[in-house]
Amino acid sequence: MIDLTTRYLGLTLRNPLVASASPLSKRVELVQRMEEAGAGAVVLYSLFEEQILNESHTLDHVLSRGSESYAEALSYYPDLPHYNLEPDRYLEHVRRVKQAVQIPVIGSLNGVSLGHWIEYARKIEQAGADALELNIYDLPTDPAVPSSTLEEIYVTLVGDVRRQIRIPLAVKLSPFFTALPNVARRLVEAGADGLVLFNRFYQPDIDLERLEVVPTVHLSRSEDLLLPLRWIAILSGQIDADFALTGGVHSAQEVLKAMMVGARVSMLASELLAHGIPRLSEILHELEHWMLEHEYESIAQMQGSMSQRAVAEPAAYERAQYMRALNSFDRWLP
């Protein structure tokens, strides 16, 4: 019998397939179906800092605007007894999901600035989440702000969130750091139990006919795996945290690779969005089949087996590999 269990953020998962934050977790029945299909855990869709702040402000704006201006219409809306704003709905959703499934449920909070919004970390914990994923999705645009300042903010933010909660905390990062290992270490020192690599930035596009900037969403592809794969390989042996690989996981092959470089779990969403929740059980089946065929007893056995520290040629993950890869283009020369 093959042991697929893994430990992530102090939780024991029945296997390393974790459904990452996506619209699929917006409905309780879909989370149940993911559980039935074999997901080891689920990260719920993200509650955004902007939702916490903006919805409240927007509601206030709408209810206040035009009021007390004109004698015949002192308001324009009935005074409803309560407003179930997105943050509250999110918490309620956490509660309902927790009641509906047995697998660990990881809440997700997405934001970047320091402020009161992080109190929702505690509220997500109180709602029953087994762990929290803090998604630091920042796009610096101010030339006056140096990277050191931003990094300091992220570290402070992680520390602030850490102090709000007792449940394990994972931090989801982007790959765009000059000194990613250093940042990773500082975030872990600030209280992160795990690091999720990497965040995908959704890049806006341009509509040439309308001359408008338009948002785009592309699902991940298998090639996207390589970036987090390398970084987990480099970091997993050096940083004392549980690593999760996300982005580019579409088959058992990618799950295996993720485990081998040292990830505790591999997260997937695009594959499920594109081909359905049953893909989870298919991938699990492929995973077991491969392990059986290659005589692996457990996931733990392979975890980190190909991290930078473990491989025979650590430079393969470093700059030297880059030069070799570039040279390999030579064969396309005419």
Residue ranges that bind another protein, judged by CB under 8 A: 52-60, 62-85, 87, 89, 116-117, 119, 211
Question: CA–CA separation, 49 vs 38, rounded Å?
Answer: 31
Which is nearer to another protein, 5 or 54 (by Cβ)?
Answer: 54
Q: Please, what is the minimum distance in Å from the beta carbon of residue 101 to another protein?
A: 21
Which is nearer to another protein, 54 or 174 (by Cβ)?
Answer: 54
Cβ proximity of 202 and 192 under 8 Å: no
Which is nearer to another protein, 79 or 330 (by Cβ)?
Answer: 79
Query: Exposed, middle or buried, 85 (CB in 10 Å: 0-12/13-18/19+)?
Result: middle
- Beta-carbon count within 10 A of 222 CB: 15
β-strand pairing of 11-13 with 17-19: unpaired
Query: Exposed, middle or buried, 95 (CB in 10 Å: 0-12/13-18/19+)?
Result: middle
Which is nearer to another protein, 66 or 146 (by Cβ)?
Answer: 66
Q: Please, what is the minimum distance in Å from the beta carbon of residue 273 to another protein?
A: 18
SS3 199: coil
Amino acid at 13: L
Which is nearer to another protein, 109 or 173 (by Cβ)?
Answer: 109
Q: Please, what is the minimum distance in Å from the beta carbon of residue 82 to another protein?
A: 5
Question: CA–CA separation, 271 vs 219, rounded Å?
Answer: 8
Question: CA–CA separation, 173 vs 266, rounded Å?
Answer: 15
Which is nearer to another protein, 79 or 293 (by Cβ)?
Answer: 79
Cβ proximity of 33 and 277 under 8 Å: yes
Cβ proximity of 107 and 132 under 8 Å: yes
Q: Please, what is the minimum distance in Å from the beta carbon of residue 111 to another protein?
A: 13
Task: Give 20's DSSP letter.
Answer: P
Q: Please, what is the minimum distance in Å from the beta carbon of residue 180 to another protein?
A: 33
Which is nearer to another protein, 85 or 300 (by Cβ)?
Answer: 85
Q: Please, what is the minimum distance in Å from the beta carbon of residue 122 to another protein?
A: 13
Q: Please, what is the minimum distance in Å from the beta carbon of residue 160 to another protein?
A: 16
Question: CA–CA separation, 118 vs 160, rounded Å?
Answer: 8
Which is nearer to another protein, 82 or 331 (by Cβ)?
Answer: 82
Amino acid at 286: E
Q: Please, what is the minimum distance in Å from the beta carbon of residue 81 to another protein?
A: 5
Residue 330 CB contacts under 8 Å (≥ 6 apart), including other chains: none
Query: Exposed, middle or buried, 70 (CB in 10 Å: 0-12/13-18/19+)?
Result: exposed
Task: Give 44's DSSP letter.
Answer: E
Q: Please, what is the minimum distance in Å from the beta carbon of residue 156 to another protein?
A: 19
Amino acid at 178: T
Which is nearer to another protein, 58 or 182 (by Cβ)?
Answer: 58
